[in-house]
């Protein structure tokens, strides 16, 4: 393989990874702080796109649409957390009930979206400022893909800063370690969990909206991203933000080069990688805790 091909595949893998990361980051945040495996995360990805679509039908401005979609997804997330998820915290076999409840929400939201907006494919156009592409000599990179990579990196930087450098961030990290203790110390733990949940679902919505100009807006799009994002989270480590980034990069690049070397296996490669990681280091590549093992 010549250097040109290598660069082309590497950059495209990066672009794939960034979108995966944006979806997975919300998922891992929810698990890390609220201890919920949000199987319905894909539905917030979906809701974000539809809210933005609706707004653009009325005002035709991508950026306003983006803002509305992100906030909308966040609000729906918080409502679901307060009204429904809270009721199963602390239950026996909570994990199974989380799975079932979030699965129920996938089913419900998918149909609600179909009912309101219909089953036809919808489009969200790229903002005019981001059309076009950059010619890097041996390969072309669309401007929009660079934009996504930049947004992904900003999200990572912002999250890192917030979670490690600010007091509020430290409280959030503390709640993930010990809900009860923190509550005894006087912190309003339920409020933190709700807010974090809202932020995470907003991020899911953001991922959906950013991806929408590249893909199709259709009911069912949410279910399609959930399995891939769960794989990323597992590889990186549940609750580990950096892990989600690493996991996404691994999957993105493995797929990118796998297409060239093992085209027939491209579709099962992600599961194979996930299985290898779970066997060798089940807590995830970047997690320090020896969780999950006997």
Partner 1 sequence: MKRKIVALVLVFAVLVPLSAVYGAETIKIGALYTMTGRGGQYGKDSEVAIKMALDEVNAKGLPGGAKLDVIITDDKNPQYAVSVAKRYITDDKCKFLFGIISSAIGLAVTEVSKENKVIFVGSDHAATDLTANKFQKYYFRSSNNTFQSMMAGAYYLKDEVKNWKKIAYIGPDYAYGRDQWMELKWGLDKLGVKYEVVGEYWPKLYEPDYTSYITAIMKASPDILVNGMWGGDTVSFIKQAKPYGLFGKMKYFHVDAGGNYEAMAALGDDMPEGIIMSARHHNNWPDTPANKAYVEKFYKAAGRYPSYAASGAYAGILLIAEAIRKVGNADDTEALIKALEGMKIQLPEDPPGFTSYIDPKTHQIVQVQAIGTTVKNDKFPPAKYMLGNFKIYPADKLWPSFEYIDYMIKVKGK
Partner 2 sequence: MKKLKDYLPWVCYFIFFLGILIVNPGTHYIHLVARVIILSLYAVAFNLLYGTTGLVSFGHALFYGIGAYITGMLVKATGPEFFLLFIVIGAAGAALVSVFIGLLTLRLTGIYFTMLTLAFAQLAWGLTFKLYHFTGGDDGIQAIAKPEMLTGGVTKYYLFSFVVVTICMYILWRIRRSPFGSVLNCIRQNPQRITFLGLNVYKNQLKAFVISAFFAGVAGGLYAGLDGSIHPDMLHWPTSGNAILMATIGGMGTFFGPVVGSGILTGLETIVGKYTEYWSFSIGVVVLIVVLLFPRGVLGIKHLAGNKNKEEKETEVVCNS
> What whole-number distance in Å separates Cα of residue 184 and Cα of residue 193?
15
> Which residue from 57, 61, 96, 184 is in contact with partner 2, where contact means CB under 8 A?
96
# of chain residues touching partner 1 (CB under 8 A): 50
**Among the listed residues 87, 50, 23, the one whose alpha carbon sits nearest the alpha carbon of residue 224:** 23
Distance CA 181, CA 68 (A): 36
Strands 133-135 and 140-142: antiparallel
**Residue 171 contact, options partner 2, partner 1, none, Cβ 5-8 Å cut-off depending on partner type:** none
Q: Three-state SS for 141?
A: strand
By CB under 8 A, residue 142 contacts partner 1: yes
Out of 57, 58, 59, 100, name the contact with partner 2 by CB under 8 A: 100
The Cβ of residue 133 has, within 10 Å, a number of other Cβ atoms equal to: 13
Residues 6 or more apart in contact with residue 150 via CB below 8 angstroms: none
Nearest approach, Cβ of residue 110 and partner 2 (Å): 6
3-state secondary structure of 229: helix
User: Which tokens in the block code for residue 127?
Assistant: 């903002």
When asked if residue 291 is in the footprint of partner 2 (CB under 8 A), the reply is: yes
Question: Interface with partner 1 by CB under 8 A: which range of 72-80, 168-176, 252-260, 271-279?
Answer: 252-260
Closer to partner 2 by Cβ: residue 140 or 268: 268
Residue 293 binds: one of partner 1, partner 2, none (C-beta under 5 to 8 A by kind): partner 2
Q: Which is nearer to partner 2, 166 or 178 (CB)?
A: 178
Contact of residue 121 among partner 2, partner 1, none (CB under 5-8 Å per partner type)? partner 1
List 4, 114, 168, 260, residue binding partner 2 (CB under 8 A): 114
- 232 contributes a contact to partner 2 by CB under 8 A: no
**Pure H helices in 30-122:** 41-59, 62-83, 94-117
127 near partner 1 (CB under 8 A)? no
- Token duo for residue 168: 């509020």
Residue 25 is a binding residue for partner 1 (CB under 8 A): no
Of 56-64, 82-90, 125-133, 239-247, which part binds partner 1 (CB under 8 A)?
125-133
**Residue 229 burial class via C-beta count within 10 angstroms: exposed 0-12, middle 13-18, buried 19 and up:** buried
In angstroms, what is the minimal distance from the CB of 157 to partner 1?
23
Told to check if 91 binds partner 2 by CB under 8 A, we report yes
| C-beta pairs of 224-227 under 8 Å, 24+ apart in sequence | 224/42, 225/23, 225/41, 225/42, 225/45, 226/39, 226/40, 226/41, 226/42, 226/106
Determine the Cα–Cα distance for residues 147 and 156; give it in Å rounded to an integer. Answer: 14
Q: Which is nearer to partner 2, 157 or 227 (CB)?
A: 227
Using rule CB under 8 A, residue 125 touches partner 1: yes
Residue closer to partner 1, measured from CB, 222 or 239: 222
Q: Which residues bind partner 1 (CB under 8 A)?
A: 4-5, 8-9, 11-13, 15-16, 19, 110-111, 114, 118-123, 125, 131-133, 139-140, 142-145, 211, 213-216, 218-221, 223-225, 252, 255-256, 259-260, 263-264, 266-267
């Amino acid at each position: 393989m010549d250097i040109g091909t290598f660069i082309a595949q590497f950059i495209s893998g990066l672009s794939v990874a960034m979108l995966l990361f944006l979806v997975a980051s919300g998922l891992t945040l929810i698990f890390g702080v609220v201890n919920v495996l949000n199987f319905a995360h894909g539905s917030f990805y979906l809701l974000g796109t539809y809210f933005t679509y609706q707004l653009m039908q009325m005002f035709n401005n991508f950026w306003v649409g983006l803002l509305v979609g992100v906030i909308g997804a966040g609000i729906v997330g918080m409502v679901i957390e307060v009204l429904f998820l809270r009721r199963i915290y602390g239950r026996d076999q909570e994990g199974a009930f989380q799975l079932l409840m979030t699965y129920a929400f996938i089913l419900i939201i998918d149909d609600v979206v179909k009912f309101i907006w219909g089953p036809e494919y919808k489009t969200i156009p790229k903002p005019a400022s981001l059309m076009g592409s950059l010619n890097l000599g041996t390969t072309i990179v669309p401007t929009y893909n660079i934009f996504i990579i930049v947004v992904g990196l900003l999200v990572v930087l912002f999250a890192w800063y917030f979670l490690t450098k600010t007091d509020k961030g430290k409280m959030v990290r503390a709640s993930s370690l010990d809900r009860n203790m923190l509550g005894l110390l006087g912190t309003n733990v339920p409020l933190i969990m709700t807010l974090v949940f809202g932020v995470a679902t907003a991020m899911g919505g953001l991922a959906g909206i950013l991806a929408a100009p590249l893909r199709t807006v259709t009911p069912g799009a949410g279910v399609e991203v959930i399995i891939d994002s769960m794989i990323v989270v597992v590889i990186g480590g549940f609750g580990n933000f950096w892990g989600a980034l690493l996991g996404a990069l691994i999957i993105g690049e493995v797929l990118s080069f796998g297409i060239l070397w093992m085209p027939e296996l491209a579709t099962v490669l992600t599961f194979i990688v996930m299985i290898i990681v779970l066997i060798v280091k089940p807590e995830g590549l970047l997690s320090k805790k020896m969780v999950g093992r006997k």
